[in-house]
Amino acid sequence: MDRLIYFDYAATTPVKPEAVQAMVESLGQFGNPSSRYEYGRQAALRVKADRETVAKAFGCSPAELFFTSCGTEGDNWAIRRGVEANRRKGKHIVTTAVEHAAVLETCKDLERQGCEVTYLKPDRAGRITVEQLTAALRPDTALVSMMLVNNETGVTLPVAECVKAVKAFDASILFHCDAVQGFLKTRSLLARLGADLVTVSGHKVGGPKGIGALYIKKGVRLRPLLTGGGQEEGLRSGTEATAQIAGFAAAVRANGADPGRLERAAAIKEYTLSNLKEAVPKLEVISQGDAPHICAVTLPGYKSEVVVRVLGDRGVCISSGSACHKGKPSHVFAAMNLPKPWLDGALRLSFSPDSTKEEADALADALKDAADSLFTTLS
Ligand code: PLP
């Protein structure tokens, strides 16, 4: 395999050189931020500066931003402890059928513990409306969890409007937003969504794996998920992952220094889609995606796992949707009620601002060859 053609940036992103450098420096300065001597204090100061960087990109105060080990942890913390914080109100949760497994599996676990969960169904385009959410609210609703950008379709859900509607219904309902695919992918700051709790992850924005953050709006009280030495203001114990935090913050700064990144990602996505439609006439677009970096297409009647494997053998990396495993179609595309042949052949393409036309052309060649050579249930 001479070179990797990578169109799976929603799965993970390459670690930015600035992040690598910051991590190497941090690994060399190994002090524990909790240690009382100068070497420890220096580490604590670096974590403080890094928290300020991420908080600024979020539009919140550093006191509202808590480092976690990943997006999954942030989702678990927010939902489990959010429901618990509103226990006296009730045990009803509203979420959507298109959330990431980190949210859905957490909700399912809470169902096993006695919670009741309403899963809002998307339309054929993957959209969910404010009216749907409002209709699902009840006096015993404790928490709403709605993602900002869907990781398989790139569709943006109307989170800010939904927060307003939920708070107008009952200001005590906690609103959590999984913004893992939205952080640094939209112009607006995540704190402006108005949500009480917002989850992000480092490895989707050019930072390392193993680091994320949960925004907890001032005034919202959540019990910790992890108890121990009292780090993160007593809310998330565990020695701070100083190198990961440094890499995350450096990646955030590098994104900030590249204001044209969203337009470039959107432009290469548009080029790729029009190129693909021409090269592979059988290909259909499931979702162009509102977010600049994600879209979904399908080769109706083909088996997406086979297409992904055949392309992978040529060094072309795409995905069949994050939750597509053991031959089952993605829960997101299934919830959209796509016809079976579309479901079978569904593929997610995701982009970086630095994806090139040459790479897009190589993807089109590879998909054309796959469509010409593979078996389809429709032919
Ligand atoms: N939420 C969404 C929307 C995601 O796309 C992902 C990762 O793909 C996650 C949560 C989980 O994040 P992490 O991989 O950092 O646990």
pLDDT by residue for the chain (379 residues), tens digit each? 568 999 999 999 999 999 999 999 999 999 999 999 999 999 999 999 999 999 999 999 999 999 999 999 999 999 999 999 999 999 999 999 999 999 999 999 999 999 999 999 999 999 999 999 999 999 999 999 999 999 999 999 999 999 999 999 999 999 999 999 999 999 999 999 999 999 999 999 999 999 999 999 999 999 999 999 999 999 999 999 999 999 999 999 999 999 999 999 999 999 999 999 999 999 999 999 999 999 999 999 999 999 999 999 999 999 997 534 555 779 999 999 999 999 999 999 999 999 999 999 999 999 999 999 987 776 5
Pocket flag, ligand 1, residue 202 (CB < 6 Å): no
Selection from 105, 256, 112, 119 nearest residue 189 by Cα: 256
Cα distance from N-terminal residue to C-terminal residue, the chain:
31
What is the Å distance from ligand 1's center to 311 Cα?
Answer: 24
Cβ–Cβ under 8 Å, residues 44 and 26: no
Cβ–Cβ under 8 Å, residues 262 and 353: yes
Q: Which of 99, 180, 184 to mutate to test the pocket of ligand 1 (most atoms within 8 A of CB)?
A: 180
**Where do the structural domains in the chain lie, given as residue ranges?**
5-14+260-373, 17-256
Q: Is 118 helix (H, G, I), strand (E, B) or coil?
A: strand
What is the Å distance from ligand 1's center to 200 Cα?
Answer: 8
What is the Å distance from ligand 1's center to 229 Cα?
Answer: 27
Distance CA 200, CA 190 (A): 10
What is the Å distance from ligand 1's center to 230 Cα?
Answer: 26
Query: Which protein residue's CA is at the shortest distance from atom 10 of ligand 1?
Result: 71
Q: What number does the ligand 1 atom closest to the CA of 322 have? A: 8
Q: Which of 100, 214, 244 to mutate to test the pocket of ligand 1 (most atoms within 8 A of CB)?
A: 100
109: left (phi over 0), alpha (psi -120 to 50) or beta: alpha
Superfamily assignment of 5-14+260-373 in CATH?
A: Aspartate Aminotransferase, domain 1 (3.90.1150.10)
Cβ–Cβ under 8 Å, residues 248 and 13: no
Active site residues: 324
Phi, psi of 189 (to 5 degrees): -80, 140
What is the Å distance from ligand 1's center to 203 Cα?
Answer: 9
Q: Which of 204, 211, 348 to mutate to test the pocket of ligand 1 (most atoms within 8 A of CB)?
A: 204
Distance CA 23, CA 254 (A): 14
Query: Which protein residue's CA is at the shortest distance from atom 14 of ligand 1?
Result: 71
Pocket flag, ligand 1, residue 178 (CB < 6 Å): yes
Q: Return the CATH number of the domain spanning residue range 17-256.
A: 3.40.640.10
Selection from 29, 81, 16 nearest residue 227 by Cα: 81
The pLDDT of residue 376 = 77
Burial 351-364 (b: 16+ CB within 10 A, else e): bbbebeeebbebbb
Pocket flag, ligand 1, residue 201 (CB < 6 Å): yes
Pocket flag, ligand 1, residue 151 (CB < 6 Å): yes
Pocket flag, ligand 1, residue 100 (CB < 6 Å): yes
Pocket flag, ligand 1, residue 322 (CB < 6 Å): yes
Pocket flag, ligand 1, residue 180 (CB < 6 Å): yes
The pLDDT of residue 116 = 98
Distance CA 269, CA 275 (A): 10
